[in-house]
Structure 1
Amino acid sequence: MTRYFVTLAIAIAAALFTPGLKAEKVVVYREGQVVSPQDVAAVLGKTRSISLLDDAPAGRAKPSTDSHADALSLPVRFAFNSADIVPSARSQLDALAEGIKLLAPQRIVTIEGHTDAKGSDAYNLELSRVRAHAVRDYLVQRHGIAAARLKTVAYGESRPINGSDPNAGVNRRVQFRGA
Structure 2
Amino acid sequence: MRTIFITTAVVALSAAVIAGAHAQEVKSLRGKPSSDMILQALTPSGEPEVPVATGKVRRRGLSLSNDESEAPAPAPQAAQPAAQPVAAVAPQKAAPRALDLDIQFQFNSDQLTNDGKDVLDQLAAALKSDKLAAAKSVILEGHADAKGSASYNQALSFKRAQSARNYLAVRHGISAAKLKAVGKGSSEPANPNNPEDEVNRRVRVIVDL
Tell me whether the two structures share a fold, i.e. TM-score over 0.5.
Answer: yes
- 1 or 2 for the larger relative contact order (CA 8 Å, sep ≥6)? 2
Distance 2:177 2:186 in 1: 26
**Match for 2:175 among 134, 146, 162?**
146
Map of 1:1-179 to 2, 5 A cutoff? Answer: 24=25, 26-30=27-31, 33=32, 35-46=33-44, 47-51=96-100, 74-102=101-129, 103-179=132-208
1:82 match: secondary structure: coil
Deviation at 1:22, TM superposition (A): 6.1
Specify whether residues 110 and 141 from structure 1 end up closer, same or farther in structure 2 by C-alpha distance, changes over 3 A only: same
Q: C-alpha displacement at 1:101, in angstroms? A: 0.7
1:24: how far off?
2.6
- Bigger Rg over Cα: 2
Mapped contact 2:168–2:174 kept (Cα < 8 A): yes
Rounded to whole Å, the distance in 2 between the matches of 1:87 and 1:76 is 10
Sort the Cα spacing of 1:127 and 1:27 in 2 relative to 1 into closer, same or farther, 3 A: closer
CA RMSD of superposed structures (Å): 2.0
Structure-2 change in CA distance of 1:146 and 1:121 (3 Å): same
* Change in 2 beyond 3 A, CA 1:23/1:104: closer
- Tell me, yes or no, if the aligned pair for 1:45 and 1:178 is still in contact at 8 Å: no
1:23 CA drift (Å): 7.2
**TM-score with structure 1 setting the length:** 0.69
Q: Which one-letter code corresponds to 1:98 in the other structure?
A: A
Question: CA–CA distance in 1 between the matches of 2:201 and 2:26?
Answer: 19
Give the CA deviation at 1:105.
2.7
Deviation at 1:129, TM superposition (A): 0.6
What is the aligned-residue identity percentage? 39
CA distance in structure 1 between the partners assigned to 2:135 and 2:97 by the alignment: 17
Structure 1 segments unaligned to the other structure (5+ residues): 1-17, 52-73
CA drift at 1:90: 1.4
SS in 1 for 2:140: strand
Residue 167 of structure 2: SS of its match in structure 1?
helix
